[in-house]
Homo-oligomer: A and B are copies of this chain.
Amino acid sequence: MKHLFLVLIIFISIDISAQNDANNIKKIYSNSLTNGKSYEWLEHLSNKIGARLSGSLGAERAVAYTRAELEGLGLDKVWLQPVMVPKWVRGLPELAYIETMPGKTTQVNICALGGSVETPNGGVRAQVIEVSGIEELKTIRLDRIKGKIVFFNRPMQADLIDTFEAYGGCADQRYAGAMEAGKLGAVGVIVRSLNLRMDDYPHTGSMTYGDLPVSQRIPSAAISTNHADLLSTMLALDPTITFFFKQTCKQLADVESYNVIGQITGSQFPDEYIVVGGHLDSWDLGDGSHDDGAGVVQSMDVLRLLKESGIKPKRSIRVVLFMNEENGLRGGKKYAEIAKSKNENHIFALESDSGGFTPRGFSFDCSEDVFNKVLGWKDLFKPYLIHYFEQGGSGADIGPLKNDRIVLAGLKPDSQRYFDYHHASTDVFSAVNKRELELGAATMASLVYLFDTYGIDAE
């Protein structure tokens, strides 16, 4: 009889705790959808501050604004973590056209890629060689590349369901195209925008020259998908047409900026840290509403939602708004460096950097044991239509925290529209839906709540 009694008590206690979790998660979602702050914060960040490229006035103002807002939440601690960041400036609006015969030009929409050098004073004018990628470039006779503009025109693959996979299959052209073409004697690079839509907006993004000598560093720019198709069609008709572009972008000296950090100190295990974050910097063309204003305000709201829902964390929960994800990752590296130097025990980190769209679930970078534990929580999310729990990557900013023990995760929102806006002038506040954003914040807060409650030890 004694054994039977014990078994009953255990079952009852499991039931109560599952019910308690369900109730707390319901409170979190309800608070976010009826009383969330994420949308209001995003409105300010996007419309009052705007673009926030590292080293810009916008980035500085975003640091001050988010710090002040976090201070207003009654957290246990809010602080700035200094970090030196690169400063790249776009300069004057870019100019580009296709010239089919002297004086007969068609203007096209381009934007310099982040990190690119400027063109010579009079711009670059040359014939164009179109390739589908770096591999193809390497198969071409050198004399066909020398003195030319290389046009990387591999489109994102439309039949991949996860658009990030399609992005991953094309991003090398943008990131390393100019480096590879520069080695071969090209004078400039034009890259098809990483966009699944046909439209008129060029999409910027980071690129590298690696350790190329300055003399081989050639300017590179992205061209809109419509104009990429136009250029390709015109080249097919006449391979001798020329392309002209001019840009005045510059890499300046590094400047000081900050990660913005807020903390609720844990009641039972204050030395165990959970991080939730997004990146505060953005590209300069739009206002970075999806990339990553959404992740910033959702992460801020996670701490507020826990408080509003009457949840007192056992572990220390930190919101970290990372600086410089887009062109250096300095904020993420700095945060991990400091955490390591202080021997802080980080058990879980969650990043939102895939847009403020309807959340579908999470991608986990963790051991099989912890993943199985997480799968045990999946049913708690079913009422909120959160169904995606898979092993995979997490987020760029939290990546440097990786060790044998920490669990890293990334929020996975619906990805269909993300690349319509990513790094383009279309990434603006009106492209974000309030409910979708708020559902994301609640989904993140619910996962943070569960990791705080149950830790990361296998059961």
Contact = CB atoms under 8 A, between A and B. Distances in A.
Interface residues of A, number: 26
Contacts of A33: 158-159
Contacts of A433: 416-417, 420
Contacts of A416: 358, 433, 435-436, 439
B388 A388 contact: no
Nearest to A388: B385
A334 interface: no
A417 B158 CA distance: 23
B159 A34 contact: yes
A197 interface: yes
A197 B434 contact: yes
Nearest to A197: B434
A24 to B, nearest CB: 15
A232 interface: no
In this complex, the member of A30, A159, A388, A420 whose beta carbon has the largest number of chain B beta carbons within 10 angstroms is A159
A435 B387 contact: no
A360 B416 CA distance: 13
A384 interface: yes
Contacts of A383: 161
Interface string A422-459: 00000000000111100100000000000000000000
A29 B434 contact: no
A159 B383 CA distance: 12
Nearest to A417: B433
Nearest to A360: B385
Contact of A358 (B196, B358, B384): B358
Contacts of A358: 358, 414, 416
Given A385-B388, A388-B385, A159 B414 contact: no
8 contacts: A30-B159, A34-B158, A161-B384, A416-B436, A416-B439, A417-B433, A417-B435, A417-B436
Closest 8 CB pairs of A and B: A387-B387, A30-B159, A33-B159, A416-B435, A33-B158, A416-B436, A34-B158, A358-B414
Interface of A: 29-30, 33-34, 158-159, 161, 163, 196-197, 358, 360, 383-385, 387-388, 414, 416-417, 420, 433-436, 439
